[in-house]
Structure 1
Amino acid sequence: MSRPTVPVEHRPTGAGAPHLRLSRGISATWWYTASGVLLFELAVTLVWVLTLLEAGRPSPVLAAIGAAGLVWTASTAVLLQYYRHRTDESPWARWPRLLAPLVIAAVIGLVAGLLSGLWLMGVLPLVQSVLLLNWPPGVRARMVAAGTVLLGAAWFVDAQLTFSQQPDANWWLLGFFSTSLPLMTAVSLWWWDVLITVDRARASEARLAATQERLRVATDVHDLQGHHLQVIALQLELAERLMPTDPQAGLEQLRAARRSVDEARQGTRDLATRFRAVPLGDEIANAADLLRAAGSSVQATVAPDADHAPAAVLAPIIRETTTNALRHGGGTWARMALTREPSGWRYQIANDAGHAAPSDDGAGLEGIGRRVADAGGTLAIRREADEFVVAVVLPAEPSGASR
């Protein structure tokens, strides 16, 4: 029998919708991708300055071009941030915010082109910034091809007008790095898009597993109740027909219908017991798998004799606290532990606190509190700036309604 699962929170996408919360590994990959693009831009700026220095350009020109390259790189960092948090809307939906970096790139290109006398340096900043926009699928490849051709043409013009007059400088190095920048950027962003697709597929797989489990439970309940209800309906119909002519036979059918009701009730209890009877070690392992699927780093500790713990009380508590961690946690780390103590059993889950404000209704925690109180245990909740902890202590033999 497969283990029950807890659904992963679905976050809608689109205009005005919350952004998909990425796992920690995917977020780290983004910083590697963005820093790689920015470092390549800085390298191109350095090649500009060194090549012009070798060509004998004055120091004020070199300083101005270096400063312009830094400002341009900073403006592309803003575009990269917008690219990371893009939605399915068109690339121009945020044009007021995107306009400033594009204008900066155009001005930087104009200044660098006038100071250096090179068309290549005048064209590259704007071409690179335009490529960082959220172009629809397939358009970016054509934009990269067009931008590379444009930069190659500018390089050819500079070779005819400027490079031939100063053959000692490494103009080929400047041209190679400048024309390669769009392609390197496109490859980095393509790799990031692939990882985003994989991450969303992982989240969809977790939701699909939860949906399949719910469908399986619904199918079992439908098969069980549908069979018994159909039998009961037939027995009552037969009793109704027999009552006027053969009251004793009709009464026997009523007794049979009552037995069918008892069987249906017992079958429902058995079905519920079968789902509740999952070993607590498996419950915690399943919860840890769900948290890991959501991108959290999970540490789980389970006592060797955990199967002797009151599963009827702890199993729903484990599922409820896991759901709370998925919905309201920060999604970075979690620690789960089920241990034996002299006073009974102790279950504790701790996770990093999310940025969202705590829920006002507290229905989940109130439900946990009622379960623990009915079992004669204690519940402790600790909420700090960067940590949220739920600790439950239960006696070895639960008492009251929980039993």
Structure 2
Amino acid sequence: MVTGRSPRFTESTQGRLRRLNLATSLPPVVFAAVVLLYTDARAWWHVVVLAPGAVAAVVAFERWTANDLARVALPCLVVAAAVWPLGVLVTGSPNAYWGICAVGSLALREVRRRRKLVMAGLFTYVAAVGAARLLVQQDDIGHVLVTYVLIPTALTVVVTVFTVVGERFYDLIRELEQTREREAELAVVRERVRFASDLHDIQGHTLHVVKLKIALAQRLLLRDTARAEKELRETYTLVSDTIAQTKELAYAQRRLNLTAEMENAKNLFEAAGIRVRVTREAEVDARASELLGQVLRETTTNILRHAQATQVQITLAASGITIVNDGVTATTPPEFRGLAALRQRVAGDGGELTVEQEDGRFLTAAVFPPARADAAPTVSGKDGR
């Protein structure tokens, strides 16, 4: 059981990784900006000149983690690009390249065409602006070239390479996420195919027999009225039985085998890339297994349809079952209609069905008291999702 929104509307794995980057990487980024400002600023107005570059880098990084870099990439890039020459020519700050290095490497993600040319332009700009320091400081050319050209350009290259590699990593995560969603959809389709197969087994044979009996009754109508009436009565009974069986199938009232449902649930979860662990604390009471099987089937369907689960824990007791899954968002509704109907059935047999959401996990548990374990659960009523 699980979330109220389908995977396409829930937070993706890629988004969660970016938020993790924000939580783990932003503090060091801010700390580095403060240290560089403290190191390079020798007057209050130096801070005024250099701070916009650091702010632009932090803003670009934060927007990147929110997958919204395109909206701020250009203004941040302009600010950072302006700070670097001011730092070189006005304040004499060799670390003023930090802003253009960070923003430029991130902004390259938004470039879809001629990326290599743009990348070369970024490196050339950093080196050329650094070399402009020679216009105001010519007494130590070697020191200027190392401090303002070689180090800034080399670090910009390194940061850009790591950024490009990181982009490939996020692309891979995106592809894996899409594959996982497709597997989950296929698992649901397989369940529907199984339902269609059961429906065909019930109605296909019946309709064929009905066709033959009606044809026979039509031939006997004038020659043997009593026999024709008998065939029609049998046809009526057969149709009535088929209607009842179809209702049982539609409302999940056919007798279920808990072991078979458990195996089916494991196969569906594994096909969707979800780790599943089954713990058997005791042998399940045979007379309670049918209703527990229905709880397992309904919960499995809800997890596949509504969650972004990565792991599921199923625990079987003598007269109960507990299913716990992750992948739950804060907007998850308390329960689904299918489980609400099952709650009434379980309660009617003296048991209790509970659903709980806590810390990103959803728990579904059905338990029959020991006093009721000797009573066979009665399955009745509708089950709708």
User: Is the structural similarity TM-score above 0.5?
Assistant: yes
1:281 and 1:306 in contact (8 A); partners too: no
Please list the CA deviations of residues 1-24 of structure 1 after superposition, one character each: whole Å capped at 9, or x if unmatched.
Answer: xxxxx99987375xxxx3x4335x
Please list the CA deviations of residues 298-336 of structure 1 after superposition, one character each: whole Å capped at 9, or x if unmatched.
Answer: 664223423736221111112334455667778577654
Go from structure 1 to structure 2 and tell me whether the alpha carbon gap of 1:330 and 1:234 turns closer, same or farther (over 3 Å shift): closer
Structure 1: where are the runs of 5+ without partners?
A: 1-5, 93-97
**Does 2:107 match 1:130?**
yes
Structure 2 match to 1:111: 83
Structure 2 match to 1:375: 349
Q: Residues of 2 paired with 1:384 and 1:7: CA distance? A: 11
Instruction: Determine which of 278, 289, 301 is the counterpart of 2:257.
Output: 278
Go from structure 1 to structure 2 and tell me whether the alpha carbon gap of 1:9 and 1:355 turns closer, same or farther (over 3 Å shift): closer
Go from structure 1 to structure 2 and tell me whether the alpha carbon gap of 1:157 and 1:69 turns closer, same or farther (over 3 Å shift): closer
2:202 and 2:245 in contact (8 A); partners too: yes
Go from structure 1 to structure 2 and tell me whether the alpha carbon gap of 1:73 and 1:262 turns closer, same or farther (over 3 Å shift): same
Residue identity opposite 2:42 in structure 1 = S
Q: Residues of 1 paired with 2:279 and 2:170: CA distance? A: 35
* Paired residues, number: 361
Tell me the SS of whatever aligns to 1:305.
coil
Residue identity opposite 2:269 in structure 1 = L
TM-score by length of 2: 0.71
Structure 1 match to 2:133: 162
Instruction: Determine which of 318, 330, 355 is the counterpart of 1:355.
Output: 330
Q: Residues of 2 paired with 1:401 and 1:274: CA distance? A: 10
Q: Residues of 2 paired with 1:240 and 1:175: CA distance? A: 94
Go from structure 1 to structure 2 and tell me whether the alpha carbon gap of 1:265 and 1:245 turns closer, same or farther (over 3 Å shift): same
Structure 2 match to 1:339: 317
| Larger RCO, structure (CA 8 Å, separation 6 or more) | 2
- Superposed CA RMSD in Å reads 4.8
Q: Residues of 2 paired with 1:7 and 1:356: CA distance? A: 10
Give the C-alpha shift of residue 192 in structure 1. 0.3
Structure 2 match to 1:95: none
Tell me the SS of whatever aligns to 2:200.
helix
Which deviates further from its counterpart, 205-214 or 380-389?
A: 380-389
Q: Residues of 1 paired with 2:217 and 2:342: CA distance? A: 46
TM-score by length of 1: 0.68
1:44 and 1:178 in contact (8 A); partners too: no
Percent identical pairs in the alignment equals 22
**Does 2:171 match 1:188?**
no
Q: Residues of 2 paired with 1:77 and 1:298: CA distance? A: 36
Go from structure 1 to structure 2 and tell me whether the alpha carbon gap of 1:355 and 1:271 turns closer, same or farther (over 3 Å shift): closer
2:353 and 2:364 in contact (8 A); partners too: yes
**Does 2:308 match 1:313?**
no
Give the C-alpha shift of residue 151 in structure 1. 2.2
